[in-house]
Chains A and B, each alone.
Chain A
């Protein structure tokens, strides 16, 4: 009995740490979708870029032996401004041609063009990475990855919870970043103007908001979040050019689960996926963990079609 409890707690902890990271990736996607209504297929590949970038930065930082164990996390934070600028630039050059007020008159509000465009960006990033970085996986080697905190469970003498240090710190950083973002969106002037631009781009223009600029900020933020999540992920998942495709499905599931348009919901959607994925390994073979995720996904949507945090009541 005690052994079972120990295993359950251990698996739950693994689910919560994985879920925090998934949650952050979902927040990035929800940011872009929620504010621009753009379905970004390249989101997983922004994550991949963040992974490679973090490996590169961490190697430079590790070389000087100043930052030691903190190097991967400092690298993750440094990835944010780089991806923010890259995302904003991509928006300025390409994405903005298919979004905003320019898209209002287009059929389907320009969604087809946006899909093809972001899919194209995804392919270029994947194959570009294949050319530049090769196909062999790389990761950050940190001594934290092989160290664990041992927490006694107090149910008997030798039951202990092992928390991998790298994963736990990654999870805490993810939660911190997601929290800062919620504060930014909910409470700052910039966040409010982003939400206004999301609610109604035309009316936002009439109160003096530059909707194109708001979208550029949202796209940059979304890319930056994907990058940071990737940088944190690379401590436990090696980077390779097509790693993004493994995660994009999970990201979409998380966003839909949380309720489309809700950034807070996206985080919890990702969290649910992480927890379900890990807990399913208790009763099912490892290969079926994603099957379980989608089973729960379908069940939740059957009973709550609007998602966990979706709004149903809204007058026109």
Chain B
């Protein structure tokens, strides 16, 4: 569904990603893990088009994304839940979801997707008229995921959904991701610091370090020992 072919990204001469290749298969949950500064968020931004590629290709459902501007990629079915949530603070919860549903697929599937969002996160239905900026961190994360789901995406990219949340709230978010995976119609790409949780849930994992892929494989094959080696070099 999504294939990254040896992509490289630089910020002002500084290499953020070098020759990263990645294969995300339809219906699976793939995780990208790695220490801070490994280039995980950059990888997501390259896929959604807000940072330019220096080399390589990104193919989404057979189309090369190279010539496609960032905002069009959302309409193709790529939904990116950015790090730090980034809800539209001065819009209400419902308006945030409406913004998500403004894609072509989102408009068509609106009734069903809103039902799904409100079933997954009932609190959003309760607070639909509240300004998003006044929600708690966990509720904002739910809204950010809800906003992405409202676009009826084919690929959902979640960047550190548990960041800054209480363990209980993080569990709630992970439960929701688990639920989405079980429903199976959305391919999920997850960046996470809580490596154990991420590995417990995903089908396939990639370990990034200093902008390079150092390890990849089926989650079941990635033993704790090999991960520790990749992370710590011991």
Contact = CB atoms under 8 A, between A and B. Distances in A.
Contacts of B75: 208
A314 B133 contact: yes
Contacts of B86: 200, 202-203
A202 B102 contact: no
A203 B88 contact: yes
A203 B89 contact: no
Contact of A315 (B70, B71, B134, B151): B134
B74 A192 contact: no
A285 interface: no
A144 B88 CA distance: 46
A196 B71 CA distance: 13
Contacts of A311: 90
A150 interface: no
A12 B74 CA distance: 53
Interface in B118-141: 133-137, 140
A218 to B, nearest CB: 15
**DSSP class of A's interface residues: helix, strand, loop or mixed?**
helix
A209 B99 contact: yes
A211 B137 CA distance: 25
A205 B89 contact: no
A199 interface: yes
A205 B70 contact: yes
B191 interface: no
A313 interface: yes
B87 A192 contact: no
Contacts of B148: 206-207
B71 A203 contact: no
A204 B151 CA distance: 12
A313 B134 contact: yes
B72 interface: yes
Interface in A288-307: none
B133 A315 contact: yes
A198 B69 CA distance: 19
B82 interface: yes
Nearest to B98: A192
Contacts of B147: 207
A210 interface: yes
Interface string B21-61: 00000000000000000000000000011100000000000
Nearest to B104: A208
14 contacts: A195-B88, A196-B88, A196-B99, A199-B89, A203-B144, A205-B74, A207-B74, A207-B103, A207-B147, A207-B148, A208-B151, A313-B134, A315-B133, A315-B137
- A-B CB proximity, top 9 nearest: A208-B74, A203-B86, A199-B88, A206-B80, A314-B133, A210-B71, A196-B88, A208-B103, A205-B70
Interface of B: 11-12, 48-50, 69-72, 74-75, 79-82, 86-91, 95-96, 98-100, 102-103, 133-137, 140, 144, 147-148, 151
